[in-house]
Structure 1
Amino acid sequence: MVNDLEGPFRKTFSPENLSAFSWDKTTSWAEDKAPLTVACLRSMFPPAKKIQKLTVNYSPGNKPRRMTEEEVKQMLDRRISLLLSVPLYTSSLRSCFLQTAFSVEMLRHRCPAKLFTLTNSLGLSQSKTSARIHVRKLAEDHERTVKQWRDEIQTTRTTQYVSEDSKKAAAYTFSWGKVRVPSVSRSESTERGYSFATWVFRFAHQARVNFRNLHGPPIKAVEVSPYSILPSKQTYESIRRRMKMLVMRIIADNLSALKGPRGRVVRHIPHKYSSLMKEQSTTVSLGAVIPNLAEESVSAAFGLKDFLPEFSGTPHHILCCGDVLGTDRNEQSNRTQNKETPNQNAELKFDGLVEAPPEFQNEHLFHEEMIKMLLSEKNENARGTLHHIVSLFHFKTFNNTAKDYFLNIWDFITFVTTAYVTLFAVTACGLDSVDQRPSDFPPQASAQMDWLSDLAHRLLDLVWMPPSQEDIIMAAAAAAAGQSDGDQRKIFPFCYCREEKPGERLVRCCSNLCPGIWFHEGCARARTLSDPDEDWFCGTDCSSDGTYVYCHCKEQRGGQMVQCGLMERCRKHEWYHRACLTAEQQISAQQTPWFCSESCSMGGCGEEDFLLNYTRAVVWEGLNHMARRDAIQEGDGDAMTDFWRTDMVLLWSRTHLQLFNSSHQMITGIEGFYPERVRQDMKWNRVLNLQGTSGGNVSLDLLTELMINEFKGGIEFGKGSFTSQQVEQSSQLAGAEAKHLDRLFFTGGNPLNLSSCLHRLTTSSSCKRTAEVSRFVEEFKKDELFSFKPGRKHPGFEKFIYPQRVRNPKKMGRSVRSLSEELDRRRDKIL
């Protein structure tokens, strides 16, 4: 074994060998080389069945349990390999892979030099000095890797128009996260007796989708149409389709009788780069620096200038994601909640770096908004409210301003949404429990999927509450009119003429995706030469898109229509295809007046069911979060961009102006303000997949946050001050190296490790508390949370109505125009 130069113990300590090391392969190698020695070692351990009876608890807060057969095998492989490594290391210091890994792990956790001396004397580790040398070599390898990427781009630039080789040059992105670190210099005036310095942990990530062959020129921001910046009807319909797929997954997973659809429901929504987004991302640490904001550019301030490609003094644009301000994100969280954050330093040029918006910060802000809107201390005992669910199902308490608990918040949102959707399915099918088979569930496989799709459609029809499209069109019209014109004349966003004509009747285009919606009757007759009193379409695009503004099917199916008795005051769709009604509805539709729903038949006087409004809001918000997370996990750049478009409206209405500005810059850039290559990078290369699995992507800023969380935890748990050398060592071991080291030394996986967090984050449509979903249904199935009962309300939400109107849409449009003009003025600093 000592003489085997290719043996696992003789491997050099490198990122590649660390990720490839396997305990069971090491044991198998040893059995091939010295079968009797390994057999003797195995005989010294108790039988596997006896070990399996031992109770273990790998993570705090979980109940002790017995070891699985796989865990017993892994433990024996680990201990046998460790026993073999000591004599091999004693025989030859070159057989030191495990000793090196162990010493680097101890250095990572800031173990004292005395412990290094002790374990080194036992043959378990190397000295502390050797560990530091290996960490330094890792850092040099990382820098060499990124500079190699840089050189590939620079050397292929001259052939980029005539050779396929230019496409092979590695594209990459940067990210960083800030940590406020106590230093060793004492100061009586600072907190805890230490002075503090803000360090930046920097990372580089190789792009999986390479757009090096794209060279389209940019355009001015004011030339980008505001109708392409703000969300359209098509945007919301795309999100609705994703939500429907999520609802189908939830119902199939939680109604135990639906075994057929469970295996056929789509688990991963495909897009044009799906295969590339399954690949494992390459991430390397570039160490930590204290940023020098006195520099002229961001790349110089954060020590990234040497890693940027240049051509004749002109930098090659690289995507970056990180806080450029001089404050840490945790310090900003309170200001974010106050709805105003300080403006970015306009004097600092990006000079080769292109700023990507903070996807996770934006996502988590909406988590907090949901909790703040729907969780009240006043309704702990109100059945079905979020506060009641937290108490009833013993969820870990969380502070709705603390990012440290975002995983608990996400688990809670996933559970609540899953439980409510399952409750709707049980209620709508008239079931007694999740184990009962629906009476109308068809036996044919194709019909089963149609049945499931129809059930999901009915839920979305009930909870669908996007912002008013008329308000969004008003904002787009105000932006298109220009700031100065918008102040001087009244803006009318509808019709071909875009002019207000008092007293003239407006007619609606019957396409569900029509961008104009309303038209003057006279203009409609003159333009289309057709009668607007019939099914009328404003143009050939709308008449041929196959959609229909009426009926819950939203399709041009033709045939006889039935009108709800409330007519234009109908709470749903007013007109319905008779063929789209259920058998029961078709019978009742023979009577006059006929009402399409309980809310129309019982709410004709205008009285609201505020409890149902609350239920709908919970499901609507939850599905929004799950659909957004699903788009991120799949790396679907088009869907992620659609969510940023819809976010613009919500960020404006909820006065989160800094993120509103960021979303405007990103979408305007994608629509033409950025060069073509940067546009595509911004759309598709803002996610990473360290697991290398389908649906395993996370956003750049979230992964950065997770990679430095362990170091932050060391500070929070009072481990004292840090020298510059210790901070640099910690940053060099952050990310992939930390993940692989924990895989080596934790039997059940480190519960605080990157891998565990990623697993929790990338299981969006499968709730981990399946038994409690069934309990939720049993608890609330008699509360009629999805039925319309006028006058009901929750304490603390007496007159709850989910806000759908856009706050001051004309002012929003003028702000969009102003931001576009500002982008044009600052183009040299942004690009």
Structure 2
Amino acid sequence: MTVRHQTRDRSNKMLNMVQSYAARDRIPSLHLSDRMPTPDDIMDISLRAYLPTNIDETLLRSEMTVMIKKTLRDNLEVFKDLKIESHIHHPYQLESSRKSVISDCTPLILLLHADGLSCERGNDAQSARINGSNAWTQLQGLRMSIQEWHKRQFLLQDAYDELYSGQCARDKGTLFHLKIFFNHRSVSSNVKNDFDHNEEFLDCCAQGYILLAAVHIMNIRDLDEKPMDMPSDENERQLYLDRVAYEIADSCFLSVVHVSNKAADVSNETEDTYDYCICKQEKPGQMMIYCDNKHCKKGTWFHLECLCMNEEDVPNGKWYCSPECKMPIHTYKQGKGNRKVVADALTDHKRDYALMVMWRGLNQRIRKDAIRENDGERMIRH
């Protein structure tokens, strides 16, 4: 039921009223302990337990592949007749698929997960109704459990803080540009104003980039075209779909091992590392020349000997070490000031941005699927 009313801060505000029922648990939980964890129990948990393991990485990669295959099957004409797993399996999916049984007898023990303030209000409500006429009016059976209620919102907000900016309105393919192009007026940088629209918009953009990656891998021009190397046998087509999905997942997946190796490489570097010139060696007494591109990634300062240059070859004006560094800095009007964009031929920023949108969108979609499928372990893991 939806009610609209006028307020000072917002002239048209929507309130959602929901009637709730207590349902019997379809999954047995009598083996679980009712003891609340203490601060000492939490302090005893090793920090390593909070870091993702190789098993977590393997599971996440598999879950991403399932979501990618579903996107390809739903949008590419050549895959629409294939039967694939539309949801991620978990041990209790059979029990979760059964119809709920509404409790109409004595109150059951019902956990209410909320933040600290909401749990405090729940306890106050039980205390205020302690003299009720029956168990229902006394709110018996309700057990407050502190848990972060807005996890999905915080993670989505983190994604928008990283990927959504009004300064990128002219950059094609960014979330802000796509919002304007498709006229998604409800999307904003503050996701709590309209969480559902912001979540759907990120999912839509992620699926769009997934399809673009598939079009590139399959070497086709549109979603209805059939690839030249598409097999006719159904089983081989299924393998073809798996191969495309695996390749897309690998392109946007940042491995934990990869990050660990990069961190190890950085930690192994000594403080005496010489970052100048192409030789990366300190040569006292050698004359050096400076590259006038402050974003130079090849050394900034260079020995004349390493460049096969003499002192007479040093120009009076600016000097650049390579054609990439000589590329001009493009400037265009942005509000009251100028925004400078430095051309960088060594990094494909648009590709990195697209991969990050895919990564964020797939993670958000996996979390949503876990809630829909009642997969508690996956809810915690993500």
Would you call these one fold, judging by a TM-score over 0.5? yes
Structure 2 residue identity aligned to 1:303: Q
Task: Give the one of 124, 134, 141 matched to 1:301.
Answer: 124
Is 1:407–2:202 an aligned residue pair?
Answer: no
- 1:345-384 matches, cutoff 5 A: 353-358=144-149, 361-384=150-173
**Gaps spanning 5+ residues in structure 1: where?**
1-104, 111-180, 183-190, 193-199, 287-292, 308-316, 321-351, 475-491, 493-499, 504-604, 644-831
Structure 1 residue identity aligned to 2:22: H
Deviation at 1:302, TM superposition (A): 2.6
Is 1:274–2:93 an aligned residue pair?
Answer: yes
Instruction: State the SS of the aligned residue for 2:77.
Output: coil
Q: Deviations over 1:456-506 (max 9, x none)?
A: 11111111125677669x9xxxxxxxxxxxxxxxxx9xxxxxxx9999xxx
Q: Partner residue of 1:693?
A: none
CA distance in 2, matches of 1:502, 1:259: 51
- 1:325-344 matches, cutoff 5 A: none
Task: Give the one of 598, 601, 611 matched to 2:350.
Answer: 611
Is 1:224–2:42 an aligned residue pair?
Answer: no
Instruction: State the SS of the aligned residue for 1:438.
Output: coil
Aligned sequence identity (%): 19
Is 1:446–2:235 an aligned residue pair?
Answer: yes
CA distance in 2, matches of 1:458, 1:109: 47
CA distance in 2, matches of 1:237, 1:400: 32
Is 1:243–2:64 an aligned residue pair?
Answer: yes
Is 1:433–2:222 an aligned residue pair?
Answer: yes
Instruction: State the SS of the aligned residue for 2:22.
Output: strand
Q: Does the Cα contact within 8 Å between 2:123 and 2:144 map onto a contact in 1?
A: no
CA distance in 2, matches of 1:464, 1:366: 18
Q: Partner residue of 2:112?
A: none
Structure 2 residue identity aligned to 1:636: D
Structure of larger gyration radius: 1
CA distance in 1, matches of 2:86, 2:222: 25
Deviation at 1:248, TM superposition (A): 0.6
Task: Give the one of 180, 197, 205 matched to 2:22.
Answer: 205
Deviation at 1:362, TM superposition (A): 1.4
Q: Partner residue of 2:253?
A: 464
Query: How high is the TM-score relative to the length of structure 1?
Result: 0.29
Q: Deviations over 1:84-132 (max 9, x none)?
A: xxxxxxxxxxxxxxxxxxxxx9xx979xxxxxxxxxxxxxxxxxxxxxx
**Gaps spanning 5+ residues in structure 2: where?**
10-16, 108-115, 131-139, 271-343
Structure 2 residue identity aligned to 1:621: R
CA distance in 1, matches of 2:166, 2:88: 38
CA distance in 2, matches of 1:397, 1:470: 36
CA distance in 1, matches of 2:350, 2:230: 30
Deviation at 1:205, TM superposition (A): 3.4
Residues 223 and 387 (structure 1), Cα distance of their counterparts in 2 relative to 1, 3 Å cut: closer
- 1:6-17 matches, cutoff 5 A: none
Residues 275 and 422 (structure 1), Cα distance of their counterparts in 2 relative to 1, 3 Å cut: same
Instruction: State the SS of the aligned residue for 2:145.
Output: strand
Q: Deviations over 1:314-351 (max 9, x none)?
A: xxx97x7xxxxxxxxxxxxxxxxxxxxxxxxxxxxxxx
Q: CA RMSD in A?
A: 4.2
Instruction: State the SS of the aligned residue for 1:397.
Output: coil
Query: How high is the TM-score relative to the length of structure 2?
Result: 0.60
Instruction: State the SS of the aligned residue for 1:257.
Output: helix
Residues 607 and 470 (structure 1), Cα distance of their counterparts in 2 relative to 1, 3 Å cut: closer
Instruction: State the SS of the aligned residue for 2:88.
Output: coil
Structure 2 residue identity aligned to 1:205: A
Q: Does the Cα contact within 8 Å between 1:298 and 1:353 map onto a contact in 2?
A: no
Deviation at 1:253, TM superposition (A): 1.2
Deviation at 1:230, TM superposition (A): 2.8
Structure 2 residue identity aligned to 1:615: A
Q: Does the Cα contact within 8 Å between 1:233 and 1:469 map onto a contact in 2?
A: no
Deviation at 1:439, TM superposition (A): 1.4
Higher relative CO (CA 8 A, sep ≥ 6), structure 1 or 2?
A: 1
Q: Does the Cα contact within 8 Å between 2:54 and 2:256 map onto a contact in 1?
A: no
Residues 267 and 305 (structure 1), Cα distance of their counterparts in 2 relative to 1, 3 Å cut: farther
Structure 2 residue identity aligned to 1:608: T
Q: Does the Cα contact within 8 Å between 1:205 and 1:281 map onto a contact in 2?
A: no
Instruction: State the SS of the aligned residue for 1:614.
Output: helix
Instruction: State the SS of the aligned residue for 1:205.
Output: coil
State the number of aligned residues: 274
Q: Deviations over 1:511-565 (max 9, x none)?
A: xxxxxxxxxxxxxxxxxxxxxxxxxxxxxxxxxxxxxxxxxxxxxxxxxxxxxxx
Residues 282 and 226 (structure 1), Cα distance of their counterparts in 2 relative to 1, 3 Å cut: farther
